[in-house]
């Protein structure tokens, strides 16, 4: 890998991008991030990602590192430098480096890094067969609406799921499905989409909101409400959404088929419309 990465105002070969050992992103996971998809060399829904980054930084009281146009130009430069056709741009803003302390009130010299990753999104390998997920207790912290780099539990859950032969884990709390390890979870039941409401228990996914809008425009009912594990098992269809997977069908939950056990028509249509809107 010899990508160009961005760090604090500079574009450098990735192995020259270095952060202090005192960086609070490293010591305290004191950082917010965004992952913006790139499809056909174009950034997808960048303004919404910039808005969410601004929200996360505001909740953490980290000073915004740059204006939205400047952040956009960093993203565009990286896509261009690295010739990315399909994949993502990862951007992380930490509170910066300071002597280790639990008190952060007067630290304001944020560290900004960004890099690109190539990935198949349109022809994602799990789309045709559909994903198999397992159910796992949601033991993450209580402010999941902030997109922080505190991802250890999600990473553990995903790894354990993979080791047991699943594509991902759907996280559950008090008997309801919150979301997947790095996607929002949806079911289709009685012809309506159901997904967890926006609150502190889930990340307000950009793809989630696009899909809800597409569904409403198609005349499909949408219920933003918690759904129980049993309801998910009995659903006609299930899928998950994220910037890097778009709409990913889920055909099996904890070894029980969802519906017919193949990607369902509503899911496939929403995925089709998701990409169709990019060509409009």
Q: DSSP string spanning 138-197?
A: --S-S-TTS-BS--HHHHHHHHHHHHTT-SEEEEEETTEEEEESSSEEEEEETTEEEEPP
Residues paired with 137 in a beta bridge: 172
Residues 6+ apart with CB under 8 A from 159: none
Q: How does DSSP classify residue 97?
A: B
Q: What is the dihedral of CA 73, 79, 81, 85, to 10 degrees?
A: -150
Chain residues binding ligand PDD by CB under 6 A are 35, 179, 182-184, 203, 205-208, 241-244
Nearer to ligand PDD (CB atom), residue 95 or residue 144: 144
Q: Active-site positions?
A: 147
CB 47 within 8 A of CB 69: no
Q: Is the dihedral of CA 61, 67, 69, 75 positive or negative?
A: negative
Residues 6+ apart with CB under 8 A from 67: none
Nearer to ligand PDD (CB atom), residue 107 or residue 226: 226
d(Cα 116, Cα 101) in Å, to the nearest integer? 32
CB of 271 to ligand PDD, least distance (A): 14
CB of 19 to ligand PDD, least distance (A): 19
CB of 182 to ligand PDD, least distance (A): 4
Nearer to ligand PDD (CB atom), residue 111 or residue 243: 243
Nearer to ligand PDD (CB atom), residue 28 or residue 55: 55
CB of 209 to ligand PDD, least distance (A): 8
d(Cα 44, Cα 67) in Å, to the nearest integer? 18
Q: Is the dihedral of CA 210, 212, 214, 216 positive or negative?
A: negative
CB of 206 to ligand PDD, least distance (A): 4
Nearer to ligand PDD (CB atom), residue 91 or residue 107: 91
Tokens of 215: 């569904």
């Amino acid at each position: 890998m010899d990508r160009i990465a961005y760090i604090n105002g500079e574009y450098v070969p990735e192995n020259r991008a270095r952060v202090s050992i005192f960086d609070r992103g490293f010591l305290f996971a004191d950082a917010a991030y965004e992952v913006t998809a790139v499809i056909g060399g174009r950034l997808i829904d960048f303004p919404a990602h910039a808005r969410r980054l601004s929200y996360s930084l505001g909740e953490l009281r980290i000073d915004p590192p740059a204006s939205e146009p400047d952040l956009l130009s960093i993203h565009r430069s990286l896509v261009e430098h690295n010739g990315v056709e399909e994949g993502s741009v990862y951007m992380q803003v930490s509170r910066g480096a300071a002597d280790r302390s639990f008190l952060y009130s007067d630290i304001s010299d944020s560290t900004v890094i960004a890099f690109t990753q190539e990935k198949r999104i349109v022809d994602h390998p799990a789309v045709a067969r559909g994903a198999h997920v397992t159910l796992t207790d949601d033991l993450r912290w209580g402010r999941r609406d902030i997109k922080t780099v505190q991802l250890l539990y999600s990473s553990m859950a995903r790894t354990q799921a993979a080791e047991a032969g699943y594509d991902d884990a759907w996280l559950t709390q008090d008997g309801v499905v919150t979301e997947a390890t790095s996607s929002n979870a949806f079911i289709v039941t009685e012809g309506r989409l159901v997904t967890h409401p926006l609150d502190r228990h889930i990340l307000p996914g950009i793809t989630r909101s696009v899909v809800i809008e597409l569904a409403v425009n198609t005349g499909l009912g949408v219920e933003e409400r918690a759904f129980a594990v049993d309801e998910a098992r009995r659903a006609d269809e299930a899928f998950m959404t994220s910037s890097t997977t778009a709409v990913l069908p889920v055909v099996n939950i904890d070894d029980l088929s969802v519906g017919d056990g193949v990607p369902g028509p509503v899911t496939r249509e929403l995925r089709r419309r998701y990409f169709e809107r990019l060509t409009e």
